[in-house]
Amino acid sequence: MTPDVRRPVDRLLALFALVLMAIGMVWIYSASAIRASEHHAAATTFLVRQLVAGVIGLGLMLVLSQVELAPLQDHPRPLQVTYLMMLALLAAVLFLGPRINGAHRWLRFGPMSIQPSELFKPLSVLLTAGWMVRHREAWARRQDSLPKLMGLFGILVVPLALILREPDFGTTFLIVFVALMVVFLGGAPKWIFAVALPVLGALGTAFVVLSPYRMARITSFLNPEADPLGKGHQALQSLVAVGNGGLLGVGLGAGKQKLFFLPEAHTDFIYAVIAEEAGLIGTVAVLALFIGILWRGYRIARRVGDPYLKLCAMGFVLLLVVQALMNISVVLSLAPNKGIPLPFISFGPNSLITSLICLGLLLSISKDAGSA
């Protein structure tokens, strides 16, 4: 589609995401001020870092919203170069990245750090969608579909293995889940999933059983009261925060659990701080905004005509919404802790930038789908 007939971006989609980002800024300051002060830093330290990441992310979002993705189907060279660069970064992080909380996930460049596994998430959608569209005749014939899918597996398995080695099981699970959904929506034979899902389930179980720290997360999830001051501490304190909030919350800044009772209050468990300070009303509002993103993303995918853009749109919106549901499930003790941040809200410059990259790509596709 030529640029002169492309429509405006989906403004509601942008609004929902930017409101979430604003909510994040407010509660990052609320949840992190005391922690920053403990380290003799300014109370706004974490907020300023997140604001800088927000400015960078918004700039990337605006640039990407003007990029046409459709030509990547026939000219995938930029994706191939990016893929090779990403492999190099993912390998480098294992050897050069600092060990933080038992994991190698970041590469430091002076005052800045990058998390390659975050940046690989949108790239995985572009690669998977492109592969499915380029080989759509194989899905129709159903004769050589398995070799084609094995080719896609070969592309994704190396970066996923590197991410799992960091270790980052949560991000690996998210990428695999979204890739499977794109493969399913792309028309792959349904019998493939009857085989793939049990195999993936068995591999996931093996990774948990053979890893003491992952097994400890499962046991603490099933029975956090067994070790309330150790492995079950986060889950129990998160539930205390949610319970304290009631319907309307205790008021912005008045929460008690962030005062060193709830670990990672400004990152993975910021939804619990929102629950305590804004109550059920605040948490439902956040959830409604993510449902709004899902609605607008689905609408974009349904209205766009290009098969590649359709799959990309579904992949990007699922990256954002499924990650949000994973984080909220952990906070409410509906799932084991995976170290997954809440998109647009949790403190994490790399997570925020990646979320805004996904938003920018979605907005670009919306220009080919129309907006209300």
Q: What is the pLDDT of residues 166-187, one digit of tens each?
A: 888 899 999 999 999 999 999 8
Asked if the structure places residue 287 within a domain, the reply is yes
Cα(209)–Cα(212) distance, integer angstroms: 7
pLDDT in tens, 293-324: 999 999 999 999 999 999 999 999 999 999 99
Which alpha helices (DSSP H) does 4-72 contain, by range? Answer: 11-38, 45-64
Can you read off the two tokens belonging to residue 212? 């003491």
How far CA 22 is from CA of 17, 18, 27, 252, 308, in Å, comes to: 9, 6, 9, 14, 32
Angle at 361 between CA 355 and CA 364, to 5 degrees: 140
Mean pLDDT of 103-111: 84
Q: Long-range CB contacts (< 8 A, 24+ apart) of 163-168?
A: 163/90, 163/117, 163/120, 164/207, 165/94, 166/93, 166/94, 166/103, 166/104, 166/105, 166/117, 167/103, 167/211, 168/103, 168/105, 168/117, 168/339
Assess contact for 64 and 360: CB atoms under 8 A: yes
Asked if the structure places residue 372 within a domain, the reply is no
The mean of the pLDDT values for the chain is: 90
Asked if the structure places residue 92 within a domain, the reply is yes
User: 238 pLDDT band (50/70/90 cuts)?
Assistant: very high
73 vs 60: which has the higher pLDDT: 60
Cα(175)–Cα(319) distance, integer angstroms: 8
pLDDT of 4 over the 60 cut: no
Q: What is the pLDDT of residue 147?
A: 82
pLDDT of 287 over the 50 cut: yes
User: 247 pLDDT band (50/70/90 cuts)?
Assistant: very high
Q: What is the pLDDT of residue 231?
A: 79
Asked if the structure places residue 271 within a domain, the reply is yes
Burial class from Cβ neighbours inside 10 Å (0-12, 13-18, 19+) for residue 271 reads buried
Q: Long-range CB contacts (< 8 A, 24+ apart) of 256-265?
A: 258/30, 258/31, 258/34, 259/34, 260/34, 260/35, 260/38, 261/237, 262/234, 262/237, 262/238, 263/233, 263/234, 263/237, 264/234, 265/31, 265/32, 265/35
Domain span including residue 314: 3-366
Sign of dihedral through CA atoms 81, 83, 84, 89? Answer: positive
109 vs 315: which has the higher pLDDT: 315
Mean pLDDT of 226-251: 89
In degrees rounded to 5, what are phi and psi of residue 269? Answer: -110, 25
Percent of the chain surpassing pLDDT 90: 64
Beta bridge partners of 114: 107
pLDDT of 274 over the 70 cut: yes
Cα(162)–Cα(93) distance, integer angstroms: 9
What's the pTM?
A: 0.93
Rg (CA), the chain: 21
Percent of the chain surpassing pLDDT 70: 97
CA 131 to chain centre: 22
The four Cα atoms 296, 174, 243, 32 give a dihedral, to 10 degrees, of -90
Asked if the structure places residue 126 within a domain, the reply is yes
Assess contact for 339 and 309: CB atoms under 8 A: no
Asked if the structure places residue 25 within a domain, the reply is yes
Count of domains in the chain?
1
